[in-house]
Amino acid sequence: MTITIDRIETAILDVPTIRGHVLSMATMTTQSVVLVTIRFSDGSVGLGEGTTIGGMSYGPESPESIRLAVDSYIAPLLLGRDADAVLAAAALVERQVKGNPIARSAVEIALWDGFARRLGLPLASVFGGAVRGAMPVAWTLASGEAASDIEEAEDMLARHRHRIFKLKIGKREVREDIAHVARIAAAVGDRASIRVDVNQAWSLAEARWGLRGLQEVGVDLVEQPVARDDLSGLKALTDAGEIAVMADEALSGPASALRIAANRGADVFAVKVAQSGGLSRAREVTSIAASAGIGVYGGTMLESGVATAASLHLFATAETLEWGTEFFGPLLFAHEILAKPLVYRDFAVELPAGPGIGVQPDPDPCAFFDREKRRTVHP
């Protein structure tokens, strides 16, 4: 008998971060996670997550819009459909729900998770099998202060947690940003790779100047220096210097990836499952990058362990992952929401074992941080 999609439940969890996370467009002190639980007719369950950054300051979706898109538009399309026809479900959603990649991704992850759990296989096996069991993992230094960033970097190095550091810049004048990065790069020396993420804050003229300064102080990689739509600017910067240029916000799935790759408009792609519209589309973005000789980097939307685990299963199957990953999201949360946390050691994050995405939520913190339940408990 066909197993069907019976119920799709959503919840927004507002979880405090361990410190303020200062980005060019927002300072985060809380991360709002949209959890999706799909219940199937045979009693199996699939888990997904759709999370964005800084309300609507990173992109057009918000925690509230993600939840609304799932509840009001995606769930009604899928209820009663074949649970095992994941690609057909994702294609239907993509046809009927324009945009909203994070919401679509949250549901698609839950469909894949349920499918793999019913087969009793880790999700990576459904995608053809893991080629690695652990992945290098970056940490973002974004306290806003060079001295505390250096202290944090030293602590991470001493604990063998991270030796790739991404610095969030773009909020200050270019000159000040370069001085800030130079201090941190000098303190860390050749013990770590230093990269920066500008989150679209620079004009092309600022970026030309900025990239030159960053290259001089030893930065390896610059992420999304200019606006997402400025593909010709991104390409000009890619062609101009030796420092590697990475596309992040400019990528929104395979079509955008193909546009950039056809022109060799970036050196590296930050491949994000959510921004790509789900695991299958993210896989296509990765294939486009690899075929074009563009480096692959596993990107994050600062997600909890749920979406992070899903990304780990996908990137465990990527043929090449030369720039590593930034799957550190759960470490930025002041409270763990998984029953068993992901394992970070030896400068890497491990692929969780077990069926599906290999993780389970811990019901107590999930209930505690649930926006609606908190409202009821503390009226």
Residue-wise burial string across 134-148, b where 16 or more C-beta atoms lie within 10 A, e elsewhere: bbbbbbbbbbbebee
The answer to whether 303 contacts Mg ion (rule: CB under 5 A) is no
# binding residues, ligand MUC (CB under 6 A): 10
Q: Which of 365, 375, 325, 321 is nearest to 341 (CA)?
A: 365
Least Å distance, CB 326 to Mg ion, is 8
User: Is the CB of residue 276 less than 8 Å from the CB of residue 285?
Assistant: yes
User: Is the CB of residue 368 less than 8 Å from the CB of residue 333?
Assistant: no
Residues 170-189 that bind ligand MUC (CB under 6 A): none
Please return the burial class of 228, using the count of CB atoms within 10 Å of its CB with bins 0-12, 13-18 and 19+. Answer: middle
From the list ligand MUC, Mg ion, none, pick the one residue 326 interacts with, judged by a Cβ distance below 5 to 8 Å according to partner type.
ligand MUC
The answer to whether 311 contacts ligand MUC (rule: CB under 6 A) is no
The answer to whether 326 contacts ligand MUC (rule: CB under 6 A) is yes
The residue annotated as part of the active site, out of 166, 168, 171, 272, is: 168
Q: State how far the Cα of 68 lies from the Cα of 50, in Å rounded to an integer.
A: 12
Q: Between 212 and 251, how does the x/- string for binding to Mg ion read (CB under 5 A)?
A: -----------x------------------------x---
Residue 292 DSSP one-character state = T
Residues 11-30 that bind ligand MUC (CB under 6 A): none
Is 373 an active-site residue?
A: no
Q: State how far the Cα of 277 lies from the Cα of 340, in Å rounded to an integer.
A: 27
Q: Which of 177, 225, 237 is nearest to 201 (CA)?
A: 225
Least Å distance, CB 248 to ligand MUC, is 5
Question: Around 273, how many Cα atoms within 13 Å sit in the side-chain half-sphere?
Answer: 33
The answer to whether 303 contacts ligand MUC (rule: CB under 6 A) is no
Least Å distance, CB 297 to Mg ion, is 10
From the list Mg ion, ligand MUC, none, pick the one residue 303 interacts with, judged by a Cβ distance below 5 to 8 Å according to partner type.
none
The answer to whether 53 contacts ligand MUC (rule: CB under 6 A) is yes
Q: State how far the Cα of 334 lies from the Cα of 245, in Å rounded to an integer.
A: 32
Q: Which residues of the shown chain bind ligand MUC in the complex (CB under 6 A)?
A: 53, 140, 142, 197, 199, 248, 299-300, 302, 326
What are the catalytic residues?
168
Q: Which residues of the shown chain bind Mg ion in the complex (CB under 5 A)?
A: 197, 223, 248
